[in-house]
Structure 1
């Protein structure tokens, strides 16, 4: 009886993920048509304001396209094991690019954003698109929690030997416990609990990651958790209601870039984390 119940729950979970994947996959077709038509429109003579709006629409559609690709990819990662594309990320350039997107996101609520990389390493190794999506998810959550005129801070530093920490803190209402739960529950393709995030300003360049916005799937923070764990890292939240929230992302500092040639070194000089990613 118990075995049959577990099999039924497993089957329901697989059907849930398959339906989500199918729906997201089918979204690609109309999105491709929209992008094609916007590209054609961009060749027309437009006034300055019209060009600005068109650029915003194109940017939003391309962000959505990346979001769809990221969602499909993360479900494959969860089911078939790691296939991270690890690369060397220049920390200063990476956060400067993200800051330009996030400043636009914060402008609507007059939120003050401060990014501290004074104690950060010059470079880190990670899957850049996944790390960017994780941080965008956390940023959207922080913006949703703060009041007008609130503050959000991001700090990057070497927290301890062999670990790089990225902390996102805000002085908002505090992350609800049901949202925090998504950071500790296994990724299940859409059963991590509800999650409430803000809607990005059109053209901000920071489209919601999988599950952001008001969602029953709660997949945004579950996505963050899985992405961190695939790197051999972890993510957790601190804070209390009315006292703000700090979310920490911690990654190993010794990951080896994909295709670096370091895999040719003797096996005894390398070790692998639980998810198969190579570490020096």
Structure 2
């Protein structure tokens, strides 16, 4: 089942920037069912924020495209409309009081068009970030896959997929003691890359502080099994449950190698004999 990524972005922003930003989700913009993804409000505009959050206005409407979708010119048009509706609803004296952000892992086609939404005065503000204005609203287009791997970028990097995904996972695994709260998001959002990085570094999930019980609660048995591997599953969830989840022939071979043929025969005999029948010696 496809992930719905938007709540993860909101939670990651609350985790890292909740002391400096108010994060509101699905902002109603009128009587019609028009809802912007996020509204970010700076708690104190005088408090500095790291790049790219330094480009936030006092209020910023955010349109976020999940990794399965690509941002197009239509999304910029929609964001412009959201800005106009919000500014009118709130009675903003100037459009400069509202900033617009479009976040995506992929951008497709011509984003800025003079016959539609036009990003005037566009300039690069750093890797992955273009700043300009759309209909007098300060506007940022942010390519999440181009942002540098850095602590202040983690809420944005964790909701992206692309060429830097492996580098992000490696960074968090290498610094697992410094970023335990971020590391746990890899278990759900980037589980395949996490498994590959752990295998490459010859580490287990437990060695970097990932608790199996927490894994079960967060991502379920089957995905947790995919992360910890079959051998650890035998130890942690037992042979019977592992047999339900893993190909039975493979796991029987694994048991045979680990426990030996005699142990396996004894287990099979114990399970098949009638009650109160003594096991053979």
- TM-score clears 0.5: no
If you compute each CA radius of gyration, which structure gives the higher value, 1 or 2? 2
The structure showing larger relative contact order (alpha-carbon pairs under 8 Å, at least 6 residues apart) is: 1
Q: TM-score, with normalisation over the residues of structure 1?
A: 0.24
TM-score, scaled to structure 2: 0.24
